[in-house]
Structure 1
Amino acid sequence: MEDLSINRDKDFIIQRVLSRHMNKIENLENLENLEKLYSKNSIKLYAKNSSEIFGNENIEFVASRYGLNPRGFKKYLPNIKHA
C-alpha cells in the first residue's frame, strides 16, 4: 500500500475499487472515498476501459451512478440476466 501513488497509480486504484461490487451497501463508503480522490470524469474513463470490472449487476450499478451505458463496458454480457 505504501508504494501506491494516488496520481501515478490511479488507473489501478480506480479499477480495483470499482471491481469490488460497489452495489453492496457495505462497499459504498469505498466508492465515496474514491470520488473524493478522483474526478467523476477520471472514474468514468477508467471504468469504461477496464477489463477488471465484471458481473452485469456490478457493471449496471457503476454505469447508472456515472451516467454510462453498461454496453460500453468490456465485460458486460447483454444477454445475461441476473437474479
Structure 2
Amino acid sequence: IQYLESLTAADFKDSETRRITNPRWEGQWLTGAEFVSHHALPNIYFHVTTAYSILRHNGVDVGKKDYLGPMPFKK
C-alpha cells in the first residue's frame, strides 16, 4: 500500500505507449495499453471468476450481485 501511495501522476506519464517486457516473452514486448487490455485485465477476470466458482462450489452463498458489485445508478 505504501508503494502505491508513493506513486504520482508523473509516474504514469506516457504509460500507454511504454514498452512492457517480460523475460518469458523472449525479446518480445507490448505497449502499456496492450499489456493492460490483453494481459492484465484478462488475468484479473480469470482469477476473480475462478475464486467465485470455487466459493460457489464449496457452498458459500455468493451470487451475481456479489460478483458485479454496486452499480452507480443515477436518478
Which structure's residues are more often strand, by fraction? 2
TM-score of the two chains, using structure 2 as the length reference: 0.24
TM-score of the two chains, using structure 1 as the length reference: 0.23
Higher relative contact order (CA 8 A, sep 6+): 1
- Please say which structure displays the higher CA radius of gyration: 2
Which structure's residues are more often helix, by fraction? 2
